[in-house]
Amino acid sequence: MLIDQAQPSALEDTLAQQYRLQRINAQVLTLLAARAQLYAIPDGRPVGTVVAALAADPRVRLAQANIIYRRQGGTGKAPAVVPQYALSKISIAPAHELALGRGVKIAVIDSHIDAAHPDLAGAVVNSFDASGRSTTVNDGHGTAVAGIIGARGTMRGVAPMADILAVRAFAALSERQPIASTSAILLRAIEWSVVNGAQVLNMSFAGPRDPAVQAMIEAAQKRNAVIVAAAGNGGSNAPAAYPAAYPGVIAVTAVDAADKRYVHANRGSYIAISAPGVDILAPADGGRHAFLSGTSFAAAHVSGIMALLLERSRSLQPQGALAALSDNAVDLGPAGRDEDFGFGRADAFAALQAIAERK
């Protein structure tokens, strides 16, 4: 639930008493000039009934359920013929002659990132645990995403000189539960990322439409943060995945070494761009490496490209960054934008050349 910051500080307690709720945690969201309050319903009333009652209260800006999110990575598969084929597919070698992501902060909002991995030595400049969970269970997803973006060891990342902000927002929500996140955790994660200077936010996860998270993303966009999100791994008949489908978010789908759409990728008009996301070599926790597939890892490649563009043009706006990427993509499938590939496969070098010509 969101309450305007100007409301009395005792309002959350008043609402708890009036609607028979238990306060769980609260946070100030400066980007929204609001306070977020998470409640529990001790007597087991349906969530929808309580949300409807709160939404009708004029003192409440927004009431909703605490939505659960899942990452969009798959399992390891047989290695590709060329271990890091992805870098050649998006023209990274010539792109690195122009930019390496220097001075650009990328928030990786994900699970735990193994900052001690040799490939990430010096890459993680700040970290924050938005999950509030004490569990030590990790799945390597955050490490893989961060490595695709900024590896600088055995592996080479898309933006090896970018500054990674490791924002832990995914953890086991309870014992024996899968790693996931919620609306409340993501609000905290996005707030911290933007306040701490993130210019790119990588969101390799998906869930249903979420008004509170959408409002926070819009606030981040107003501060010129570029939001990159995974298009989803629900398959060709799945509904639109969020945050990828929100306006202004760069929704990234995955293709393989032959430019074929990842078999589990979502389709839809919201998809903006394609990037390698099948059989991707990435760092894994404990200093290891793994081959992974999913739109999560395609999104990481595009976040890295955004860092390259921002190094070359510090004043580049999110829409300008998307235009540079989409206007210079390698068209795949039917001519023009389509529901399988968006504008086509990202080409880092062509996008960098395009913004250089605009200066």
The residues carrying an active-site annotation are 110, 141, 296
- Amino acid identity of residue 208, one-letter, is P
- Using the structure block, give the residue that is written with the tokens 């399988």: 340
Using DSSP, state whether 95 is helix, strand or coil. Answer: helix
Q: Is 51 helix (H, G, I), strand (E, B) or coil?
A: helix
Inter-axis angle of helices 141-150 and 295-312, nearest 10? 30
Long-range pairs, 352-355, Cβ under 8 A, ≥24: 352/95, 352/98, 352/99, 352/308, 352/309, 352/312, 352/324, 353/98, 353/328, 354/324, 354/327, 354/328, 355/309, 355/312, 355/313, 355/316, 355/320, 355/324
The C-alpha atoms of residue 108 and residue 353 are separated, in whole angstroms, by: 26
What is the crossing angle of helices 348-358 and 318-327, to 10°?
A: 120
Q: Please, what sign has the CA dihedral across residues 137, 254, 165, 23? A: negative
- Sheet with 68-71: list strands edge to edge: 171-172, 179-182, 68-71, 205-206
Beta bridge partners of 124: 164
Please, which residues have CB within 8 angstroms of residue 330's CB and are 6 or more apart in sequence? Answer: 259, 344, 345, 347
Cβ neighbours for 288, distance < 8 A, ≥ 6 positions apart? none
Spatial contact of 191 and 165, defined as CB atoms under 8 Å apart: no
CB atoms within 10 A of CB 272: 25
Burial 92-117 (b: 16+ CB within 10 A, else e): beebbebbbbeebbbbbbbbbbbbeb
Of 209, 294, 202, 291, the closest CA to residue 247 belongs to: 209
